[in-house]
Chain A
Amino acid sequence: GAGVSQSPRYKVAKRGQDVALRCDPISGHVSLFWYQQALGQGPEFLTYFQNEAQLDKSGLPSDRFFAERPEGSVSTLKIQRTQQEDSAVYLCASSFRPGANVLTFGAGSRLTVL
């Protein structure tokens, strides 16, 4: 596609539910990043993929967070047993080259945990 697509745009979950957020990057983009953005804050790094390899997951806040990119294109961020503090916008970004170059962002998935 022409841009980075994220779904769902909005998700309301009850505390304790599992959620899955999808990112469809620009075709051919090697690098894929997930960020968490709390209200009024900057994006905070969660995890980084180069093709299908997860090279850095140091930003995942707990073992309830899991991300995958099995075929090196679409990625899914899964949050198990959601908590209220997980409420945030989850941003996906992709880049043509490995490493940190210009990122193209999706519009984000806003997660609200009640």
Chain B
Amino acid sequence: AQSVTQPDIHITVSEGASLELRCNYSYGATPYLFWYVQSPGQGLQLLLKYFSGDTLVQGIKGFEAEFKRSQSSFNLRKPSVHWSDAAEYFCAVPLLSGGSYIPTFGRGTSLIVHP
């Protein structure tokens, strides 16, 4: 079955440390892949997307993600985390439902940043 999985519910890092948030998908072909961020009380904001081409994509706020077909993964990275990066992060994949592609979200990873 098609799905998107974020294995880590919480990740805690120190400010200035590097970050990697995991996302795995189950899909028959190469999907479109997205990462969104949600700050408390807010809607989701797009960080970056992968459609095709270069497997390393750059996003806003210094984030990047790498598509690895062999691992069915699209992990989000940042070399140096800032306290303002504390938020909820969601990976999303459009999955086919009733003839339409529906953006389907992982359960999210909560990033906690220690000073």
For residues 84 through 110 of chain B, which have their beta carbon under 8 Å from a beta carbon of chain A? 90, 94, 97-108, 110
Question: Do the beta carbons of A55 and B99 come within 8 Å of each other?
Answer: yes
In whole angstroms, how far apart are the Cα atoms of A45 and B94 in the complex? 11
Query: What total of chain B residues lie within 8 Å of the partner, measured CB to CB?
Result: 26
Q: How far is the CA of A51 from the CA of B69 in the complex (A)?
A: 34
Shortest C-beta distance, A38 to chain B (Å), equals 10
In the bound complex, residues from chain A placing their C-beta under 8 Å from that of B102 are 33, 45, 48, 56, 100
Contacts of B53 in A (CB 8 A): none
Contact between chains at A56 and B100 (CB < 8 Å)? yes
Nearest-CB distance from A109 to chain B (Å)? 10
Minimum CB distance partner of B110 in chain A: A40
In A21-59, the 8 Å CB interface with B consists of: 33, 35, 40-45, 48, 50, 55-56, 58
Residue numbers of A with Cβ under 8 A of B are 4, 33, 35, 40-45, 48, 50, 55-56, 58, 91, 93, 99-108
